[in-house]
Structure 1
Amino acid sequence: MSELRIRGLQKSFDGHPVLHGIDLSVERGTLLALLGPSGSGKTTLLRVLCGFEHADGGSVEIDGRLVTGKNLHVPSEQRRIGYVPQEGALFPHLSVADNIVFGLPRAQRRARHRVAELLELVGLPANFGERAPQQLSGGQQQRVALARALAPSPTLVMLDEPFSSLDAALRLETRQAVASALAATGATAVLVTHDQSEALSLGHEVAVLWQGKLIQKATPETLYRRPVTRELASFVGEAVLLPGVVEHDRVTCELGDLPLCAPLGNGAVDVMVRPEQIRLLRADETIANGTAAHDAVVLDIVFQGQDAGVALQLQSAARTVVRARVPGYLTPQPGERVRFAVDGDVTAYRRD
């Protein structure tokens, strides 16, 4: 598989800029999750990379070959890109096997080249090749779409929100099957998604588009723990944001004196704490690291099975409300008085 290099990519529609000078690299064998809210430019970037749209400026290289540049636009069919659309888009009049080999040369189509191998790769039995797409579940159809994309041995695989139409259980199962298939082939892949958990769980790296600009590219852990803006912190999971003051690489706010995950000069900041860092304490529990304990009242809960969101009102003069995330079996009741402390270091953002 190949590497992808994007430099200064620009695209507008009717004079309205959608992509603002995107610079992005994807190394060989990497699954990059391209994350962003609706309208951020994700689908436009995918369509330009695939050759479905012409860029207004910048360049795209796939494995050292320039496919988009000044006065250059290599057609999509010559870019050797495998494409998995949102709904699978299988041909209903063709069998599963014929769908998989559809893009191959005629001799390979007749021989149903690698059909059994590709079905096994995506976690489906070989006898599914004789079925019609309508006889498969949504998740199975998405796996066939991936097999079809992999059949021509593409240099790059693009996945356009391929799990968005599936229910929760099927989405998880299909994600795992697709990730395993891509890993088995050593594929270089770009997954376009607006689902934060999907991006964090599948991507080796995550790149975030925001209003047509690439604002951060990082490992999932770094993106979650150290997002570069307040807005991104609230987009990638839940965030508790409180005013504070930094002195000597620690920050003081209403949740106490907390360590910072990265050095920041002294001054006024907004402190970002993840809800799962707000840990409820047992009645007899002491805190070894010197972090302050706080008294609070449970205002409400949002129970989600494996965990729960808990709104806590601090019993201080400010009456600050923060949201914690606790295991489902430890969910307190509204009105209950609890103690909590903050676990781990936090991120801070300078105040304008």
Structure 2
Amino acid sequence: MSELKIEKLGKRFGAHRVLDDISLTVEQGSLLALLGPSGSGKTTLLRLLCGFERCDEGSIVIGGKLVSSPQVHLPPEKRQIGYVPQEGALFPHLSVADNIVFGLPRAERRERRRVAELLDMVGLPADFAGRAPQQLSGGQQQRVALARALAPKPALVLLDEPFSALDAALRAETRQAVADALAASGTTALIVTHDQAEALTMGRRVAVLWQGRLLQVAAPLTLYQRPASPELADFVGDAVLLPGRAHGGEAQCALGRLPLLDGMPQGDVTVLLRPEQIRLLPAGDAGVQARVLDVSFYGHDASVRLALDDGSLLAARVPGHRCPQPGEAVALQVEGAAACFAAAGGSSSGGGIATTRLQHSPALFRQRE
């Protein structure tokens, strides 16, 4: 298996710059999630990696071998890349076994080498080998597509939003099976997705691509707790952004004096909390007093929109069994430490909730399970 190294990669289509100065490393045997909304350049990056497009700037190196630069372009069939498309793209006239061995040399196709091993690796019974793809569920078809990609023992596997066509329950089950299979094979892999939950659960690291540029590359926990900007915080999960002032490891804001994570800026800041950090208590308990405006119930949890006594609005997330009623008075306490960002222009706005969003609301790309 091989390391993927991308350095200062750039791509234009006419006057439009689609990718700009992309530098990224996927370590040997690891899985990196590339997260971004539609139009961010994810598909173009995949096409450059596969060799379907030529880059204008920079380089792509797989396993120490230069495969792409302005002067070098190795054709797709020589790059040792396995590819799993969005809907599997299995051949309906071939059996599961024949689909899996399709990319192998002719002699190995006849012998159907490794079919049982690969089916076991992706969590499917060996007797599925004789079935037609249309006899399988969507999740099972995606697992067969992964087995087909792994069969030639590629240097790198690329997964292009492979679970987007599955329902929520099947998506969670299938992505766990795929993650387990990739880990068992020790394959270097890159999964492209617009689903934040998918990126955070699958990737050892997550790279966020926005309008052709990488905003941050970090471990999932770091990306969620310490995003590089308020805009990114609002895109990766739900964010409560409050104007405040930080001093001595604490920040004063509409929810009181809050402890900060290490290394946060001081002075006028925008404070970041995640909705699940806001705990709802009975009215009159210690904490900031608020009123429930409305509730969005999801079963396992609920999103609660709240109004503070000063008129500020914010959202909290609570377990489904502790869902309050609209109009109910509550007290708010914050659990855990907050992050913060230096306020734009060196000072934060007075009063109210600071709301900062990326151009084109990230809510359009956010999916709940």
TM over 0.5: yes
Q: Secondary structure at the match of 1:48?
A: helix
Match of 1:337 in 2: 329
Is the Cα contact below 8 Å between 2:265 and 2:340 reproduced in 1?
A: no
Name the CA distance, whole Å, in 2 between partners of 1:106 and 1:256.
Answer: 69
Match of 1:276 in 2: 276
1:266 aligns with 2:269: no
Match of 2:307 in 1: 313
Kindly state the Cα deviation for residue 80 of structure 1 after the two structures are TM-superposed: 0.4
Kindly state the Cα deviation for residue 203 of structure 1 after the two structures are TM-superposed: 0.7
Kindly state the Cα deviation for residue 285 of structure 1 after the two structures are TM-superposed: 6.3
Kindly state the Cα deviation for residue 264 of structure 1 after the two structures are TM-superposed: 3.6
Kindly state the Cα deviation for residue 126 of structure 1 after the two structures are TM-superposed: 1.1
> 1:297 corresponds to which letter in structure 2?
R
Q: Secondary structure at the match of 1:237?
A: coil
Match of 1:301 in 2: 295
Percentage of identical aligned residues: 64
Q: Secondary structure at the match of 2:318?
A: strand
Is the Cα contact below 8 Å between 2:56 and 2:69 reproduced in 1?
A: no
Match of 1:290 in 2: none
1:55 aligns with 2:49: no
1:328 aligns with 2:317: no
Go from structure 1 to structure 2 and tell me whether the alpha carbon gap of 1:12 and 1:37 turns closer, same or farther (over 3 Å shift).
same
Name the CA distance, whole Å, in 1 between partners of 2:135 and 2:70.
Answer: 46
Name the CA distance, whole Å, in 1 between partners of 2:265 and 2:293.
Answer: 36
Q: What is the CA deviation profile of residues 320-340 of structure 1, one whole-angstrom value per residue up to 9, with x for unaligned ones?
A: 111000000001101111111
Name the CA distance, whole Å, in 2 between partners of 1:33 and 1:305.
Answer: 28
Name the CA distance, whole Å, in 2 between partners of 1:239 and 1:264.
Answer: 17
Match of 2:366 in 1: none
Q: Secondary structure at the match of 2:244?
A: strand
Match of 1:9 in 2: 9
Kindly state the Cα deviation for residue 260 of structure 1 after the two structures are TM-superposed: 1.6
> 1:136 corresponds to which letter in structure 2?
L
Match of 2:339 in 1: 347
Question: Structure 1 stretches of 5 or more lacking a match?
Answer: 287-292
Name the CA distance, whole Å, in 2 between partners of 1:201 and 1:261.
Answer: 23
TM-score, scaled relative to structure 2 = 0.91
Q: Secondary structure at the match of 1:22?
A: strand
Match of 1:91 in 2: 91
> 2:87 corresponds to which letter in structure 1?
E
Name the CA distance, whole Å, in 1 between partners of 2:11 and 2:36.
Answer: 17
Kindly state the Cα deviation for residue 249 of structure 1 after the two structures are TM-superposed: 2.7
Name the CA distance, whole Å, in 2 between partners of 1:199 and 1:69.
Answer: 28
Q: Bigger CA drift: 142-151 or 342-351?
A: 342-351
Name the CA distance, whole Å, in 1 between partners of 2:313 and 2:25.
Answer: 41
Match of 1:114 in 2: 114
Q: Which runs of 4+ in 1 moved over 2 A?
A: 262-267, 281-286
Name the CA distance, whole Å, in 2 between partners of 1:231 and 1:91.
Answer: 42
TM-score, scaled relative to structure 1 = 0.95
Residues 16-165 of structure 1 mapped to structure 2, 5 A cutoff: 16-165=16-165
Match of 1:191 in 2: 191
Q: What is the CA deviation profile of residues 199-238 of structure 1, one whole-angstrom value per residue up to 9, with x for unaligned ones?
A: 0011111011111111111110000011111111111111
Question: Structure 2 stretches of 5 or more lacking a match?
Answer: 345-369
> 1:206 corresponds to which letter in structure 2?
V
Kindly state the Cα deviation for residue 282 of structure 1 after the two structures are TM-superposed: 4.7
Match of 1:171 in 2: 171
> 2:130 corresponds to which letter in structure 1?
E
Name the CA distance, whole Å, in 1 between partners of 2:73 and 2:191.
Answer: 23
Q: Secondary structure at the match of 1:72?
A: coil
> 2:293 corresponds to which letter in structure 1?
L
Kindly state the Cα deviation for residue 178 of structure 1 after the two structures are TM-superposed: 0.4
Q: Secondary structure at the match of 1:73?
A: coil
Kindly state the Cα deviation for residue 281 of structure 1 after the two structures are TM-superposed: 2.2
Aligned length: 344
> 2:241 corresponds to which letter in structure 1?
L
Name the CA distance, whole Å, in 2 between partners of 1:268 and 1:68.
Answer: 46
Q: Secondary structure at the match of 2:29?
A: coil
Kindly state the Cα deviation for residue 266 of structure 1 after the two structures are TM-superposed: 3.0
Q: What is the CA deviation profile of residues 102-152 of structure 1, one whole-angstrom value per residue up to 9, with x for unaligned ones?
A: 110000011111111111111111111111111111111100000000000
Match of 1:221 in 2: 221
> 2:294 corresponds to which letter in structure 1?
D
Name the CA distance, whole Å, in 2 between partners of 1:202 and 1:235.
Answer: 18
Name the CA distance, whole Å, in 2 between partners of 1:50 and 1:16.
Answer: 21
Match of 1:234 in 2: 234
